[in-house]
Amino acid sequence: MLNISNNPVNKIVHLKGYKSTERVFHERHYKHFNRFLLGSAIFVLIVLFLPWTQNIRSTGYLTTLRPNQRPQTIQSPIPGRIEKWYVQEGDYVKKGDTILFISEIKDEYFDPQLVERTGMQISAKTASVKSYEGKIEALQNQINALKNEEQLKFEQAKNKLIQSKLKVKSDSIDFEAAKTNVSIAERQFTRVKQLESEGLKSLTNLEEKKLKLQETQAKLISQENKLLTAKNEVLNAAVEINRIKAEYTDKISKARSDMFTAQSSQFDSEAQVTKLENQYANYEIRNSMYYIKAPQNGYINKVIQAGIGETFKEGDRLVGVMPANIELAVETFVKPLDLPLIHLGEKVRIQFDGWPAIFFSGWPNASYGTFGGKIVAINTFISENGMYRVLLAPDPDDQPWPTDIRVGSGANTIALLEDVSIWYELWRQLNGFPANYYQPKSVASETIKK
């Protein structure tokens, strides 16, 4: 009955006479229920003041600590065609083991004796360089010989010039003597002529003096001619010196031009030898690239280019390899709001997928099946998923990680922060406040020292 009428039933009908009423409205049940409520309230109050460890939970996956230990693919630096496989998926290979053999697909490398023929070209060009060196040496000797000959010819011409100058000086003296003789002969002829007119000298004496005068005059002319000839010889000697200089300058310049031409050809041959040696080395290295080898110890994961006779370009992935000796790590992501609470060296609890674990969020010490980790790297730039990447390594002070876990499997991470009361944590969660700003003890002590 809803008891909504104006006529109350409880005043007319007495309920205590019924057995069901006595069982339900017994005063003893109120007493126990009140005690239960009071005990529950006291228990909840005590629980609210219990410690609670704040934490940051995130998800990630297993990876390796070092980049060279992560799964990798092997590419070919040259294009080719698959000829033979030496491994299959799941095989263990050591560093340097041959994985597959490829052949050439470019026509400029089809010649099977390409390396040997290039070596023969190098030998021929090297011999050409040596022949040019011999030619240059011969031309240098020729230039030295021409310089010595020029020096001797120049000395000879200088001596001849000196001789010509001395002869000019001697002929000049003879010419002056001839002029003196002419003057004396003229005076004697004049005196004899006067004496003959006075009758003191005979005509014969006069004719003798006249003849002598003519002889001295002829001798003067001859001596003057000799003097002019000697002066001409001086000019000829000077011209000869200039001619020698011009002649040997031309010869030496021509020899030097030939030497420079030979040197240019030598340098060109040396450049060709260097280029051929470079090609030879490239061909040898390219031949070694026909055998694709394992870069490190590991396992063949997946063959990407499988068919025999299948062609590929340079840089195409051929096969995937997982390194054997690795140091496991966990790659996880945290929200930008929680990034200031994360520090290098902090300890983190990790729960691996597929590994049995019982974890109590606020009481990590009472959890089971989790493993310890330590933060070793925090990205300084946000990732594509809008979160910051954090790398965790095994904690050396905690139990080792399981050996059966594999790279790529999932993991849940719990970064432990400050210990607070449960009532405070509930209040924070209800209001949507972030966790308390947390700093490790080492960072806090350094800040105080500064």
Q: How is 164-175 classified by DSSP, letter by letter?
A: HHHHHHHHHHHH
- 415 contacts 346 by C-beta, under 8 angstroms: yes
Q: Coil, strand, or helix at residue 360?
A: coil
- Beta strand pairing call for 98-103 and 80-85: antiparallel
When computed from its CA atoms, the radius of gyration of the chain, rounded to whole angstroms, is 60
According to the model, what pLDDT value does residue 93 have?
A: 92
Distance CA 346, CA 373 (A): 8
pLDDT means over runs of 10, the chain (450 residues): 57 63 61 77 79 77 88 89 90 92 88 87 89 89 89 86 83 81 79 75 73 80 82 85 88 90 90 91 89 91 85 89 89 86 84 73 62 89 88 89 86 76 73 64 47
According to the model, what pLDDT value does residue 444 have?
A: 46
According to the model, what pLDDT value does residue 245 have?
A: 87
According to the model, what pLDDT value does residue 340 have?
A: 81
According to the model, what pLDDT value does residue 360 have?
A: 57
Beta carbons within 8 Å of 406's beta carbon, 6+ residues apart: 62
Token couple for 85: 């496989």
Query: Is the C-alpha dihedral spanning 162, 167, 173, 176 positive or negative?
Result: negative
According to the model, what pLDDT value does residue 447 have?
A: 43
**Phi, psi (rounded to 5 degrees) for 399:** -65, 150
- 284 contacts 126 by C-beta, under 8 angstroms: no
Q: Tokens 């470019």 sit at which residue?
A: 106
Give, in degrees to the nearest 5, the angle at Cα 104 between 98 and 105.
140
Distance CA 298, CA 276 (A): 38
Beta carbons within 8 Å of 360's beta carbon, 6+ residues apart: 366, 367
